[in-house]
Structure 1
Amino acid sequence: MKYNQLWADVHLELSRLLKEELPAEPPRPEKDRVVFFQRLAMLYVRYIQIFRQLEKVYDQVVHPQKRQLIRVILNSVIGRVLELKNEMVEKEFSEYHYMDDVLHDLKLKPADLEIPIPRYFISERSKELQQRKMMLTDILKMVGDPESPEPLKAKDMSQEEALKIIQVAERARQGRLRAKLNEESRKMNRMYRTKDSGTADLESASVCIQKVWRGYIQRKRAKIARDEEMIFLGMAMDPKYKLPLPAEIIAQAIEASLRIKQEEYEDDYQKSVVAVTNKIRDVEGDDISKTMKDQIQQWFIECRDATGSFPDYPDVEDGGSALIFAEKDPQQVKYTLRQNSDLLHIFFYSSLQEEKQSGLKMLPSAFLTDLEVGNKTFVDFWKTRNESRNYNQRHEVELIQEEKRKDIEAEIRLQKKKGSKSGKKKKKEKDLTSDRTLESLCQELVENGLLKQAHNVRLQDYLGDYSYLGTTLRQNDIEPMPSLSDVRQVLSLYAILPLGSQLVHEKAPLIKAILLAGPAGVGKKMLVHAICQETGANLFDLSPLNTAGKYPGKSGLAMMLHMVFKVARLLQPSVIWIEDTEKMFYKKVPKEEKELDPKRLKKDLPKSLKLIKGEDRVLIIGTTKDPSSADIKSLCKMYSKIILIPRPDYGSRYILWKQLIKKQGGEVTRALDLSSLAKISDGYTPGHMVQVIQSTVTKRRILQQANRPLTAAEFVAPLAKIDPVFQEEEEALKNWYAKTPLGKKRIKAATGKEEEEVPAKGKDAKKKKGKK
């Protein structure tokens, strides 16, 4: 009942939002860009709160038919969040937004802005993902993992070399034995030199022992008192809460049992759907068909009487026979068929023209209608439904009957339309591997290192703190560098949510390619693998260095791209990763890389990118640490979204040191000054920190922690041996980003030149081209 109440609360807030977004009278255009963005930001944050609550509800509700409706509403909310994000980017000319004031107004914490990753992305595809993983594992066993290191082989050794090694080992053994004997002899000599102490010496010894013991006891009591005070002030956690409480263990067990129930109830529901459908088709199918036939004949007669001639049968694209049963007379139906597409075109064109002339308006939404219908279904049906007899939340047969009658009517309409002319046939892509099985294609891609298993990392492992000064800096005309938390949030929106949901990918703003630009060690590769893990996506590697020497020639290149994109579509969702993507768009290829031919994909890959449609959950992700070496025009044409990843700020560094040391097995105590460590590591990336921690927190050092806790000084020496990311390198990245399309728009907006030049058309364009 708790989650039913939570569902009702969500719809209450959703109803308020829909009233604001779909008012009775259209709102006036807003001329102030700042005010308009504030409205967008407020809607965005409120939809995220609904998204977070709905995800919890969907994860725990067991009623199959409720889950269907919740799933539809959840996907629509995700789609609306992506639409608002897209609109905020267009209005603020930045991929990153800072909404401290909105959080303050809504009394929310920065953690409430975190984008949740729906658990059903993985849980509802667990069997499929397990089979796919087993298939890849079997192929890797057959061909050998290309990324695994070569096995160690016995090295041929001469007799002299062998004797030298034996001599060194033997001399070391004798040295250790001699040192041990010397230590024992020194101890024996000290024992012989010790004389019988007098009474005074015994008294002074006892006083010394008492001092040491009392000092130890007092320090221990002071530490306990200090820890209790910190717990009382809320600045430290009570140790008893560090271990899972009995209530938490019970809650986890209940959640696990609910998921088992979900699977069981869903199986029963699907079996019932099949049984009910067959029953309705057998018992009521003939009556439905006969009634429909009589209605269609009557409609044709009425059309002839009204217009003087029999009309054409409505096309399936226009609604088919569904138009016949609509509440319209024959003349209206005929007019609708003729004018429908023209009116829609005129409506959208006029609305866009109106927006340009009068001010800023919200863009049309592909999800608001679905949200309105879903909310109405809940209010009209589920909100007031008496479920006292359905305590176990099993499916309801009468609901299946109502739904399937409509489906069977639709099937019969299609049967009656069968044989009529269909619309234009879509041009199909030529299949170069039509005679091959999917398994054989996968095996070949694995053998060539183009299809890989993603590393087991999650997006939550990409640690970073919230940017608390973003709004303040922008108000003072200073463009802040995004935090690692902002990067995590943007990739959740642009990559994980569309790849995880087919409906969202088809209807939300389509993103085909993302570029991650940043210094070495900031976690670009980790993010690619995390995206694959969170969505269950396959990972294809088309990096210039990985494809060098493979599938030579023009025909070989075409075959490689065809195979990769074919398998990526068949096993979607899929991620195609291009590491060091700047090499593909080099201004000038370095001499040492000419033999590798890094630019061989420059022309053909963008062509394959154009073939990706809304129904294809395939995403290209490029990573680069040196984007300035590439032709910026070609690079920006390939990647519609460019995400700049900075070196971590102080807050992110503090969290990284703390969590990475714990992950390595180290204990964070008062002796370890994390604040100072975070301060002196300014300019160092998470990759540098991992390297330092692994070299410092060794197995031996972990065993010594009980007597000698870790200190910040131990990490300074290995940190000093690594070159940080200097301010000049970060400034160079910022300057490069300012030359990208979105960066240029941001600069124009900052200088007050918000209006862009309208591109010339027709004769004017030819004149300009000629002058150029």
Structure 2
Amino acid sequence: FPCSTYIKIWADTQKELDIMLQREQEEFSQPQEDREQVRKMLITSYIQYLDIIRKLEAAHDHLIHQQKRAAVRKVLDGAMGRLLEIKKEMVSLEKSECHNMEDVLRDLKRVPEDIEIPIPKYFLKENLRTLQEREKYLDEILLNAGLLEQEPSTAMTLEEGIQLIQVAERARQGRSRAAFMKKIYLEEKRQAQPQDQTDKNPDAAATCIQKVWRGYAQRKKTERLREEEMIFLGMVSGASLPPDIEARRIPQIGAGKAKIMQAEAQERKELCFKEQLKETEGPHIKETFQDEISQCFIENRHITGRFPDYPPEHTGGSKAIFIEKHPEELAAELAAKKEQKKKDKKFKQKKDKEESKKAQKGGKQPAVQAWKMGASNYLPILEEGSSHYKVFWENRDTKSDFLQDHDPELIKGGQREEVEEEIRVQVDKVMHEKLLKLKKAVDGETGGKKSGKEKVRAASWESGGAVTIPSISLACRTIDDLYQQLAEDGLLIKVRNVNLSDFIGYSDCLKKIPREVPVQPTPSIPDVRQLVTLYGILPLGSQTVREKGPLVKSLLLAGPAGVGKKMLLHAICTETGANLFNITPSNIIGKHPPGKKGLVLLLHMVLKV
């Protein structure tokens, strides 16, 4: 389809998303006491978000305009994160990972295939070259270490070559002989016919033409169907595709090349704009940062009586100065929270005593607590993406943009943030030295002496409680060196190329039947695919989902031998381009220095790679 089709899909999806956001504000903001109604509301939102994700993924995959793709991807990541939040609420409500959606699907006139979770293609496409190079490098390491057997390339012997030539020559002679005999047979048959039958007959000629054409058309159709079946089964390589399928592949290849060219052109333009911003606005931004930081230092000394410590780079540097509050505000807020906590504790104790007394007297059970949707980290992302679309893309005329070229104004806005961040790092170094000199001159602090006791800071800009893993001897080692060592030790495993769609199965209709014993049924194969995608693939593939989504520390795949546990594990790595480490106790024995420090060193190597 042309790009205009996917631009229309994007526009329609944004309208559906706006309706969804409006509906969530109306329904989820109020407490609900009816659990069945809450279940239907959550499942309905779950299915509708799946539709939105599916359409946004199709638009993102086929659009060529890089800035439009970036806008679509932001909303796509937000929708995937919101889907995980709704799934968390569904699990918390029903106390089960598998849900009966049959009644809601029937009301919405959907089929079970509509709740299959799509996996965005950009998980692999954006890092395809890096992944291919990494796979090639891993194969070389495993071959050199003797952990991977190279497929032997057997050469054809002289006898086999002679036999192949003889078979081909005999077949050619047989075809030539059959064609010659057919020609003689038709000639004899023509001569044997009477003279009156050899005259031209329009009906007979038309029948003959129809017979020949229908036979030719059916043979071509059968041949095409056979070739498509062989391609589907993977028994024919892509180089031997039929002309009609190859013609359909050409636009896809052209679109892929166009995306690459657009990305390269936009990257060159971004570098050009970046240099221009540094030259024109860089000095003004630098001066503004220095004035703001100096003013903050002066205000802090006026309140606390001394200059604060400069925030380190790992906490954001001077960003923490503008994020954190003044010491007076911070102290007042902490005191208010402490007082509120005491009041809540007393009120809760009093309420528990009253309820216990009522329960003892009347034997009445406490009322069921009303359900309310928790706070979301992704609704602001979706709202911001929706407003961005309305401002920049909704009313834009794209008919004249035949080349799908980038918008310079949008590039300037994005590059401005990067330039400000680079200048902020430079300003941090200068202001840190300036602060040390001010401390030495005004407060008489040298900054080099440290007391044995814990140092009391005037402003709490550093993050406390951070535990660092000892790097031991890893500081001077590169990632490639650690990667090679883990592969040679058998801790880094080569991933089999298997997709999640290869885990074939259909919905289980028996779990919808009411049971006498309230036991959760075994998840069906579509349920397993959905859970693996939700908890394994989406957080690994999208950084936004991983950082702000519900935290899932581990994923347990349990079942008897031969049901596909390892296949699912390799499918997760294949769909996301992730590395696969085997750090089971039986595999790491003797592969790390003895003691707890050796185990910490091994885990540090794995986490660093």
Secondary structure of residue in 1 paired with 2:495 = coil
Cα distance in 2 for partners of 1:38, 1:61 equals 35
C-alpha deviation, 1:310, in angstroms = 11
Which residue type is aligned with residue 607 of structure 2?
R
The one of 543, 547, 550 aligned to 2:590: 550
Establish whether residue 361 from structure 1 lines up as the match of residue 372 from structure 2: yes
SS in 2 for 1:22: helix
| CA-CA distance at 1:455 after TM superposition | 1.2
Which of the numbers 505, 508, 511 marks the counterpart of 1:464? 505
Verify the 8 A CA contact 2:82 2:379 in the aligned structure 1. yes
Matches of 1:239 and 1:344, distance apart in 2: 72
8 Å CA contact 2:43, 2:104 repeated in 1:
yes
Query: How far apart are residue 464 of structure 1 and its match?
Result: 0.6
Three-state SS of the structure 1 residue aligned to 2:557 is strand
User: Which residues of 2 match residues 17-96 of structure 1 at below 5 A?
Assistant: 17-23=20-26, 27-96=29-98
Counterpart of 2:576, as a letter, is: T
Pick aligned residue for 1:394 from 402, 405, 409: 405
How far apart are the structure 1 equivalents of 2:247 and 2:384? 37
After superposition, the Cα gap between the structure-2 partners of 1:33 and 1:342, relative to the gap in structure 1 and judged at 3 Å, is farther
Match of 1:559 in 2: 598
SS at match of 1:513: coil
Quick check: 2:49–2:83 contact (8 Å CA) kept in 1?
A: yes
Q: Report if aligned partners of 1:438, 1:567 keep a CA contact under 8 Å in 2.
A: no
Please tell me whether the aligned partners of residues 277 and 404 of structure 1 are also in contact (alpha carbons under 8 angstroms): yes
Task: Please say if 1:378 is aligned against 2:419.
Answer: no
Match in the other structure for 1:12: 15
Q: Distance in 1 between matches of 2:226 and 2:478?
A: 57
CA distance 1:313–1:69, change in 2 (3 Å): farther
2:607 counterpart (569, 594, 609): 569
Give, in angstroms, the shift of residue 479 of structure 1. Answer: 3.4
Distance, in Å, in 2 between the alignment partners of 1:362 and 1:148 is: 56
Q: 2:483 maps to what in 1?
A: 442
CA distance, structure 1, for counterparts of residue 470 and residue 321 of structure 2: 35
**Would you say 1:454 and 2:465 are equivalent positions?**
no
CA distance in 1, matches of 2:266, 2:382: 25
Show the counterpart of 1:126.
128
For residues 498 and 283 of structure 1, the distance between their equivalents in structure 2, rounded to whole angstroms, comes to 40
Q: Given the alignment of the two structures, is residue 265 of structure 1 paired with residue 262 of structure 2, yes or no? A: yes
Q: TM-score, normalized by length of structure 2?
A: 0.67
Aligned residue pairs total 469
Residue equivalent to 2:279: 282
* Aligned CA-pair RMSD: 4.1
Q: 1:746 maps to what in 2?
A: none
Q: Aligned residue for 1:632?
A: none
- Aligned counterparts of 2:368 and 2:332: Cα–Cα separation in 1: 27
Identical amino acids, percent of aligned pairs: 34
Q: Specify whether residues 333 and 521 from structure 1 end up closer, same or farther in structure 2 by C-alpha distance, changes over 3 A only.
A: same
Distance 2:587 2:323 in 1: 55
Residue type at the aligned position of 1:405: R
Q: Residue 473 of structure 1 corresponds to which residue in structure 2?
A: 514
The Cα of 1:109 is off from its aligned counterpart by 1.7
Q: Following TM superposition, by how much is the alpha carbon of 1:393 offset from its aligned partner in structure 2, in angstroms? A: 1.0
* 8 Å contact kept, 2:65–2:262: yes
Given residue 590 of structure 2, which amino acid in structure 1 is its aligned partner? K
Q: 2:525 aligns with which of 479, 484, 508?
A: 484
Instruction: Please tell me the residue identity of whatever aligns with 1:468.
Output: C
C-alpha separation in 1, matches of 2:323 and 2:555:
43
User: Shift in Å at residue 104 of structure 1?
Assistant: 1.4
Deviations 1:220-246 (A, max 9, x none): xxxxxxxxxxxxxxxxxx969966998
Mapped to 1, the partners of 2:81 and 2:592 lie a distance apart of 42
Aligned pair in 2 of structure 1 residues 129, 294: CA closer, same or farther (>3 Å)? closer
Deviation at 1:334, TM superposition (A): 8.0
Residues 592 and 598, structure 2, Cα contact 8 Å, conserved in 1? no
Q: In the TM superposition, what is the alpha-carbon distance from 1:336 to its structure 2 partner?
A: 5.9
Show the counterpart of 2:462: 423
Match of 2:514, SS? helix
Maintained 8 Å contact 2:143/2:149:
no
Separation in 1, partners of 2:335, 2:119: 40
Deviation at residue 378 of structure 1 after TM alignment: 0.5
Contact 1:451–1:541 (CA under 8 A) maintained in structure 2: yes
1:448, CA displacement in angstroms?
Answer: 2.6
Q: Structure 1 504/344 Cα, relative in aligned 2: closer, same or farther at 3 Å?
A: farther
Instruction: Return the alpha-carbon distance in structure 2 between the equivalents of residues 15 and 544 of structure 1.
Output: 50
Alignment partner, residue 504 of structure 1:
545
Give the drift of 1:98. 2.0
> Counterpart amino acid of 1:114?
E
- Preserved CA contact (<8 Å) 1:323 1:333: no
User: What is the SS of the residue equivalent to 2:46?
Assistant: helix
Alpha-carbon distance in structure 2 between the residues aligned to 1:523 and 1:308:
63
**Taking structure 1 as reference, are residues 321 and 497 closer, same or farther at Cα in structure 2, changes over 3 Å only?**
same
Shift of 1:341: 7.7
> Measured at CA, do residues 255 and 304 of structure 1 come closer, stay the same or move farther in structure 2, by a change above 3 Å?
same
Alpha-carbon shift at residue 399 of structure 1 (Å): 1.7
Q: Aligned pair in 2 of structure 1 residues 273, 342: CA closer, same or farther (>3 Å)?
A: farther
* Aligned-partner SS, 2:470: coil
Q: What is the SS of the residue equivalent to 1:466?
A: coil
Q: Report if aligned partners of 2:592, 2:599 keep a CA contact under 8 Å in 1.
A: no
Contact 1:321 1:413 (8 Å CA) reproduced? no
Q: Is the 8 A contact 1:314 1:320 kept in 2?
A: no
Tell me by how many angstroms 1:381 deviates: 1.7
The residue identity in structure 2 corresponding to 1:509 is P
- Quote the Cα distance in structure 2 between the aligned partners of 1:341 and 1:245: 73
AA matched with 1:9: D
Matched, 1:525 2:566: yes
- 1:272, 1:509 → 2: CA distance? 37
Q: For 2:368 and 2:307, how far apart are their aligned partners in 1?
A: 42
The residue identity in structure 2 corresponding to 1:360 is W
How far residue 358 of structure 1 moved from its aligned partner, in angstroms, is 4.6
Per-residue deviation, residues 352-372 of structure 1 (Å, max 9, x unmatched):
x99x98511111111111111
Q: Which amino acid aligns with 1:529?
A: H
CA distance, structure 1, for counterparts of residue 288 and residue 593 of structure 2: 63
C-alpha displacement at 1:37, in angstroms? Answer: 1.8
Q: C-alpha distance in 2, partners of 1:108/1:26?
A: 24
How far residue 522 of structure 1 moved from its aligned partner, in angstroms, is: 0.7
Instruction: Tell whether 2:536 aligns with 1:536.
Output: no
Give 5+ residue unaligned stretches, structure 2: 153-223, 230-240, 352-366, 436-458
Q: TM-score, normalised by structure 1?
A: 0.54
Instruction: Check the 8 A contact 1:457/1:526 in 2, yes or no.
Output: yes
Superposed displacement of residue 384, structure 1: 0.8
CA distance in 2, matches of 1:313, 1:439: 38
